[in-house]
Amino acid sequence: MLSLCEIVARLEDALMGVKGSYLLFICCSGDVSVRTKRRTFFVDEGLYVYVGSGWGTGGVLARLRRHACISGRPFWHIDFLLRSGCTPVGFSVLPSAREREVAAALSGMHSYVTGFGCSDDPGSPSHLFAVKNIFGVYSSLAERGLMHGLTIMLGECL
């Protein structure tokens, strides 16, 4: 089976130049304490979805490459989480959605890790959400017209 990093590499041509938001599905096989430069977050075992922005330089491809291949020095909260024993297991690309809209849709339906990944979005309680499965995520987003794009999943969590 291909790793998520290998899948992103194979989709490079399709993702080149794509801007938008993305979801990164993450499996934490145990409880973890995530220590960043300024904070410590406690993340329970389970499946999570992280909402990220691919509107900047390099677009969605650069962000997915960084997370799926776990490259670069840890900078963002998600970088620290992925180095704490949690594994990326899938992603969705949402080409026209804004990160803030996606996080708002999920925060009303799913529990979250307070303050995670939203330092630049003071109106959002989090950008990391605990989910039971991907279908709940999709229904939360579909209700607001935000679920359209490419999704790749490697398998189940736990």
Inter-CA distances, 44 with 33, 39, 68, 103, 129, Å: 9, 16, 21, 19, 11
What's the pTM value of the predicted model, to 2 decimals?
A: 0.95
Query: 113-135 pLDDT, tens per residue?
Result: 999 999 988 889 999 999 998 88
Residue 152 pLDDT: 87
Residue 156: per-residue pLDDT: 76
Q: Which residues of the chain have pLDDT under 70?
A: 158
> What pLDDT is attached to residue 104?
94
Distance CA 86, CA 29 (A): 7
The neighbouring-strand residues paired with 151 are 92
Distance CA 48, CA 18 (A): 24
